[in-house]
Amino acid sequence: MRAQLNCAVSDESTVGAARRSAAQLAAHAGLSDTDKGRLGIVVTELARNITLHSGRGALLIQELHDGGETGVEVLAVDSGPGIDDLERSLTDGYSTAGTSGTGMGAVRRLSSEFDLYTRQGGGAIVMSRIRGRDGAHGPAADWGAVASCAPGETRCGDSWSIARRNGDIALLVADGLGHGDGAADAAELAVTIFENRPFGPLEEYFGEAHRRLHATRGAAVAVAQFEAKGGSLRYAGIGNIAGRILSPDGTTRGLVSNNGTVGGQMRHVREFAYNWRAGDLLVMHTDGLKTGWALEGYPGLAARHPAVISALLHRDFRRGPDDTTVVVLGRRG
């Protein structure tokens, strides 16, 4: 997956620019005219909500290709005053800015998937997904991801991919060494190899990736494979991709990676098995995210959609001038 379009929002002119960018993605994703119309309204309302209540923020927009369905995801991110009364804000006719108050309610109605997190003085994250058809899209897990380029770069040196198969899930996160085209080429090749056989043996994947990435800068790579039948999570990593499992009782388990670089210095690959239970969150991220992140300071965040969680972690814990990717999986059952 490539980095999202990052549409800065500050005034009415940026609202229009965000809407046009979303329209281009909708056309590329093959959405119907009706779904394009839904998306246009959602983008407009979310962008205007930022200008009215926060003054400045961003819309992160990306195509969705998940379980045979296509669509477009919009994440509205700001660091403004937050929403005082969440339930009232989702009720038509309620407004604190002198408008008709139908915006957020319309966004929720028009979305195939919708979620929101806010806290007083801590801004807001709103997720809206518009899909070609509504309904179930895999019983095992929800997912969310945010990926951004290093400042001044047009290609992200990180990449990631998710695959589903009859309830099983495979996830890869890769970080090409450095920034720019060379890093992006390495990370994207790691993804291409993974997507050819995402549920194959992990040792075989890393062996092939190591051979083929010799012609690139190399990359840090981690792969997680979840088997729905047994409830186990297999994990292997080379380099500094971080992984954690967060449980509803507050416990956190760090996932073990081996030192090295795929395509460079890689001595051996060791696979680890973990229990991944209903209600657990799996978080994987590149070193563009600070390792000291925690959810404890965000009451209720762990129960929100993984896309909302990934956007908040990216907003509040991004390290600085680096490519940054964070992917969150939440197991439903």
Distance CA 276, CA 286 (A): 21
- For the stretch 8-57, pLDDT in tens is 999 989 999 999 999 999 999 999 999 999 999 999 999 999 998 888 99
- For the stretch 264-308, pLDDT in tens is 999 889 999 999 998 999 999 999 999 999 999 999 999 999 999
Are 158 and 285 contained in the same domain?
A: yes
Number of domains composing the chain: 2
Query: Would you call 108 exposed, middle or buried from its count of C-beta atoms within 10 A (0-12, 13-18, 19+)?
Result: middle
Are 44 and 123 contained in the same domain?
A: yes
Are 54 and 166 contained in the same domain?
A: no
CA–chain centroid gap for 293, Å, is 16
Q: Which domain holds residue 88?
A: 5-131
Query: Would you call 102 exposed, middle or buried from its count of C-beta atoms within 10 A (0-12, 13-18, 19+)?
Result: middle
CATH code, 100: 3.30.565.10
- For the stretch 160-209, pLDDT in tens is 999 999 889 999 999 999 999 999 999 999 999 999 999 999 999 999 99
Are 226 and 327 contained in the same domain?
A: yes
CATH code, 203: 3.60.40.10
CA–chain centroid gap for 120, Å, is 24
Distance CA 200, CA 190 (A): 14
* In-domain check, residue 272: yes
Are 116 and 265 contained in the same domain?
A: no
Residue 247 CB coordination number (10 Å): 15
Distance CA 171, CA 176 (A): 17
Are 121 and 239 contained in the same domain?
A: no
Q: What is the mean pLDDT of residues 100-104?
A: 61
Strand order in the sheet with 242-246: 141-148, 324-331, 281-285, 242-246, 252-254
Are 220 and 103 contained in the same domain?
A: no
